Chains A and B, each alone.
Chain A
Amino acid sequence: MILNALIFMNGFALVIGLLIIFMDRVISNYGLCRITINDDKEFHAQGGKSLLRLLLENKYFIPSACGGKGTCGYCKVKVLEGGGPALPTEALILNSREQAQGFRLSCQLKVKNDLSIEIPPEYLEIQEYRGELSLAELVTSDIKRIRIKLVEPQTLTYKPGQYVQIRIDHDGETDFRAYSMASNPDKQGEIELNVKRIPDGLGSGYLHSLELGAPLDLSGPYGDFYLHTDSDERIVCVAGGVGLAPLKSIVMYWRDHQKHRRLELYYGARDLPDLYDHDIFTSFAETYENFHYYPALSDAGDDWNGHTGFIHMVMEECLETGNTGEAYLCGPPIMIEAVTEVLTNKGIAAERIWYDKF
């Protein structure tokens, strides 16, 4: 009886499994689909996969921070023909205006027929790079400074504040994770990332485990968070923890090209060991009269005689009111919200505030 039952259940499972595989092959075969980009370029690809994946496979790099799960919203593209209405999963990210204009999240749009899409022209500039790890050092207990020497192509041109996506192959799948570049854009042959170790995090686990000389694949540059050089007004930079990375790039660029503008760097961390690169900015503040540095610790020890508390409280106290200018924010969402409120109260226009939440 038990043998009978075992044979039956195994046979049943086998038949069902084969049936599903067979149906999947036969039914979900959408044939070749033509994808037209900006009415200019086009390629053919086997349908049935997400648009994001097909674009990546054909070397069109679309930003995506969540790995195709439909949560970050970076991969939205305008679908001119063949897309259909947005799925309920997309309605959480795309507002009704975007939906009416035909925007879709490319990671959620399954390609079943010919498509015509429109993507920002700067996405077409994004390239793939092969590099190798040239430096990896712990700068705090959980943040690593990682430098990548570019091998092929050898130079990456980017604006200070932009990010790259690191390709991670694991368990037979390919994922991408976004990291801001913390390096001086003038040094095009090598980029620096600051990576905070997240427990069980895919990207940080991978980057923290790499040995010197290890090969890496990445693409970039991505992002509309970068220093705008069209004005001579002051720059306010606000960093929370590892959010310092893109702002460090901005500061380096400022030193080489924009020194005539006033730059204020507000940098919040938990305690002194977490305030990495503190000495660099201290020496900058001594050297350049236009550089103003406000580090703040939320959990300071007795050996600290600088600002204490959260960074938005320090800004409330130190930031001059009525002064125009622009602001660049990078840190956790709660910090961005609090700081944005302080900035608008102090007279900085909302459209001159750029931020990068993580």
Chain B
Amino acid sequence: MRFLLILFASILTSNIALTYFLGMCPFVTISRNIGVAAGMGIAVTCVMTITATANWLIDHYLLIPMGLEFLQFLVFIVTIATIVQLLELVMDRYTPTLHQAFGIFLPLITVNCAILGISLFMVLRTFSFWQTVVYSFGSGIGWMLAIVTMGALRRRLVFADPLANFGAAGITAILAGFMALAFIGFSGMASL
């Protein structure tokens, strides 16, 4: 039951993009096109799950036994950068078509703060191994849900004719605010 709760909360009530406003740069720039947004969402979900899991293992089997918890921040960043690099190598070699479709997002993801955020949150919330897996996967799906929804909304903007002074990024931030309000509606159901 606890796993289901974490999954539900990480997708909806504690949505990484709309409650914590992490990973905003790709959220604003890539949501222009819904297909590309979905691609980015899938890439983020994969990288988030793999990196958070790897970071949990490093944290529990290296950092905590050695009493070096204060290095978490640095070590997590290095792990994320490495995993993205390796993932790109593997994809380029064995799944060229997949690399063709998602390859360009991978380097962008290295510096995505949502990825690092999940690794740090899982430490703060003292999740177990499987809870971390579920939590990071759910957060990735939540981020994808947010960016794809935003992509769909922005398609409608063509007909809405918003004030020119808002600019593309401004109106996106306002839309994100409305979406966050809607997501808060779920908060009575489950929270982390």
Contacts and interface: CB of A to CB of B under 8 A. Distances in A.
Interface of A: 1, 4-5, 8-9, 12-13, 16, 19-20, 23-24, 27-28, 30, 84-85, 87-88, 110, 112
Contact of A84 (B67, B89, B92, B100): B100
Given A5-B71, A27-B93, A112-B96, A20 B66 contact: no
A82 to B, nearest CB: 11
Contacts, number: 44
A20 B74 CA distance: 18
18 contacts: A1-B67, A4-B66, A5-B68, A5-B71, A8-B68, A9-B71, A20-B82, A20-B86, A23-B86, A27-B89, A27-B93, A28-B89, A28-B93, A84-B96, A84-B100, A87-B100, A87-B104, A112-B96
Nearest to A30: B93
A27 B91 CA distance: 10
Contacts of B90: 23, 27
Instruction: Label chain A's interface by main secondary structure.
Output: helix
Contacts of A9: 71, 74-75
Contacts of B96: 84, 112
A88 B82 CA distance: 24
A123 to B, nearest CB: 28
Contacts of A27: 89-90, 93
A98 to B, nearest CB: 18
Given A23-B86, A24-B89, 6 more contacts: A8-B68, A9-B71, A12-B78, A16-B78, A19-B82, A88-B104
B85 interface: yes
Contacts of B93: 27-28, 30
Interface string B82-105: 100110011011001000100010
Contacts of B85: 20
A16 B68 contact: no
A87 B96 CA distance: 12
Interface string B34-53: 00000000000000000000
